[in-house]
Amino acid sequence: MLNKLVSSAEAVSHVMGRCVAWLTLAMMLLTCLVVLLRYGFDIGSIALQESVLYLHAMVFMLGAAYTFKDDEHVRVDVFYRDFSVTKKAWVNIVGGLFFLLPFTLYTAYLSLDYISASWRVLETSPEPGGLPFVYLLKTLIPIMMVSLIVQGLADIFKNIGVITATKKGQH
């Protein structure tokens, strides 16, 4: 059952990550359009520029769990890289329980008032001609935290499986 939960969480992270990867292409094309319009035709668009920022936020925030799942996140691994599989599993469990989960839960909790205030007024861009979706952009914060919590729990369970499998292999 635990393996099914881990597989399901990782499948969701994988699908979300693959979808988000396409946003980088859209972001690049939109950036080229902004540059072409500005420098080629002397036409500026705040909405297009903000769209690039929104896409960047979506790539970063919605792709975080996918990056974590594939172990591509930033890590200071001066010692970690030389650890045995079991030691790495213990480090991952401790890191998940004492760093990742508390940070994500706390950040999700702190963001609720911030996002609620934005939704109450349906916050828009302060720039003339900007996008009227700031409240949706801010909603990415708890979505990111929930996806990291789910992926973090899957990682903890997966590493518990590594440790128990290693112990069974030794006896």
For the segment 126-150, the average pLDDT, to the nearest whole number, is 95
Residue 151's closest CA among 59, 22, 86, 62? 62
C-alpha distances in angstroms, 49 versus 52, 57, 123, 139, 155?
5, 13, 18, 20, 37
- For 75-124, the pLDDT digits (tens) are 767 788 888 999 999 999 999 999 999 999 999 999 999 999 999 999 99
For the segment 13-21, the average pLDDT, to the nearest whole number, is 91
- The CA-CA-CA angle for residues 92, 97, 99, to 5°, reads 85
Q: Is the pTM of this model over 0.75?
A: yes
pLDDT score, position 116: 97
Instruction: Answer whether 155's CB lies under 8 Å from 68's CB.
Output: yes
pLDDT score, position 147: 94
pLDDT band of 71, cuts 50, 70, 90: confident
Taking the C-alpha atoms of residue 104 and residue 110, their distance in angstroms, rounded to an integer, is 10
What are the residue ranges spanned by the domains of the chain? 2-74+82-170
DSSP notation for the chain: -HHHHHHHHHHHHHHHHHHHHHHHHHHHHHHHHHHIIIIIH----HHHHHHHHHHHHHHHHHSHHHHHHTT-S----TTGGGS-HHHHHHHHHHHIIIIIHHHHHHHHHHHHHHHHHHHHTT---SSTT--S-HHHHHHHHHHHHHHHHHHHHHHHHHHHHHHHHHHHHH-
pLDDT band of 140, cuts 50, 70, 90: very high
